[in-house]
Amino acid sequence: MKIERIDLYYISMPLVSPFGTSFGTQLQRDCLILALHSEGLTGWGECVATNDPGYSYETAVTAWHILSDFLIPAVLGKELNEPEQLQGWLRKVRGHPLAKATLDQAAWDITAQRDGLSLAQKLAQPYPEGSRECVKVGVSIGTQPSIAQTMDVIAKHLGEGYGRIKLKIKPGWDIKMVWQARNTFPDVPIMLDANSAYTLDDAIIFQSMDELDFLMIEQPLGYDDIYDHSQLRPQIKTPLCLDESIHSAEHARYAIALQACDIINIKPTRVSGWTEARKIHDLGVAHGLGLWVGGMLETGVGRAAQLAMASLPGISLPGDISATARYYENDIATPFYLNAEDSTITVPTGLGLGIELDMARLKEVTLKQESFA
Ligand code: OSB
Ligand code: MG
């Protein structure tokens, strides 16, 4: 498939409620949407870099620059047979995994469509078990103005049918809040995400949570650290999960060698895409790690691709992949719904991502558009 044309959209969409983390609060989500055209088919990708460099050094603006000046020129006109070829073409560009993953997603989508497969089926080809029809999901709850409001938001999402809750923590918004959550909801699977807000000197804070039976603590230490996490892990009972500091299968290998984590949050977007995410999946399975698929408040475009990743057989824990209504009132693609009876979302079965873009809505939220041919 010759890569004939690529369209890039910079979009901005209002979130249904503000999302607070240790690096800031978001009311509006900026991201990029990419359309890759070949042989009458269109593959879609979403770049999850947002307007500020809080989670990653990449932003929607740096991703636009890296995509339009380097990555798109490196792939235009190339003959795409399988999506695994793509990373070789992008290798000259150091870093910028979120920008690279945008093209990677579109390449997986379009080749799955060509093969007459859903993205889940295409990703699952190496595994005799195949992919799952439904994936277990939970909801990630941002920091709230008060502990009482946090308990209300947890209760609301449990009422909607979510069976696993993730709470964002940061210094000053941790011990009291999480004790209250455990006391109020003694049987609910709860996990914590610090988004790199602590240092090794804070070990005592995590030790004070040892008896609270949390599923995991995600990325407590530096966004680029692996070593200090390996020092923290034997000091605490709660399983340790890495998010921010794993950018490749190589990083996963370092983390395994250092015994720095029990669990990896696989965000395909954070590791340059689905090819690399599957390598981490395989490595995690081989070493007995817990694995799950995280999110970045994706639109339906990114959400469909998260669901396909989460359908792979080694994914063992519920993902941060909630129903569309938890993020957007009016999305740019087919909405996803929660199966409330078992806290799952059904993986799309259509070709590729298996979604339909609402082009009118996409235009409405687009701030900037450019085509490359
Ligand atoms: O650390 O997992 C994270 C959202 C934005 C940036 C980072 C993270 C998150 C989430 C939300 O936790 C997950 C989701 O529901 O998409
Ligand atoms: Mg995280």
User: What global pTM score does this model have?
Assistant: 0.97
Ligand 1 nearest atom to the CA of residue 265, by list position: 2
Dump pLDDT digits (tens) for 72-95.
999 999 999 999 999 999 999 999
The closest ligand to the CA of 297 turns out to be 1
Q: Where are the alpha helices (DSSP H) in the chain?
A: 60-66, 72-75, 86-90, 97-114, 119-123, 147-160, 175-184, 203-207, 227-232, 249-257, 274-286, 300-310, 359-365
Pocket test for ligand 1, best of 15, 21, 135 (most atoms within 8 A of CB): 21
Q: What is the pLDDT of residue 324?
A: 98
Whole-number CA gyration radius for the chain: 20
User: What pLDDT shows up at residue 179?
Assistant: 98
Question: Per residue in 194-212, pLDDT tens?
Answer: 999 999 999 999 999 999 9
Note whether 161 and 348 are within 8 A (CB). Answer: no
Residues classed as catalytic: 168, 267
Calculate how far, in angstroms, residue 41's C-alpha sits from the geometric centre of ligand 2: 34
262 pLDDT tier (thresholds 50, 70, 90): very high
Q: What CA–CA distances, in Å, run from 352 to 54, 98, 120, 121, 167?
A: 31, 20, 8, 9, 32
Nearest CA to ligand 1 atom 13: 295
**Packing angle of the helix pair 274-286, 97-114 (nearest 10 deg):** 90
pLDDT in tens, 147-173: 999 999 999 999 999 999 999 999 999
Report the Cα 291 to chain-centroid distance in Å.
Answer: 12
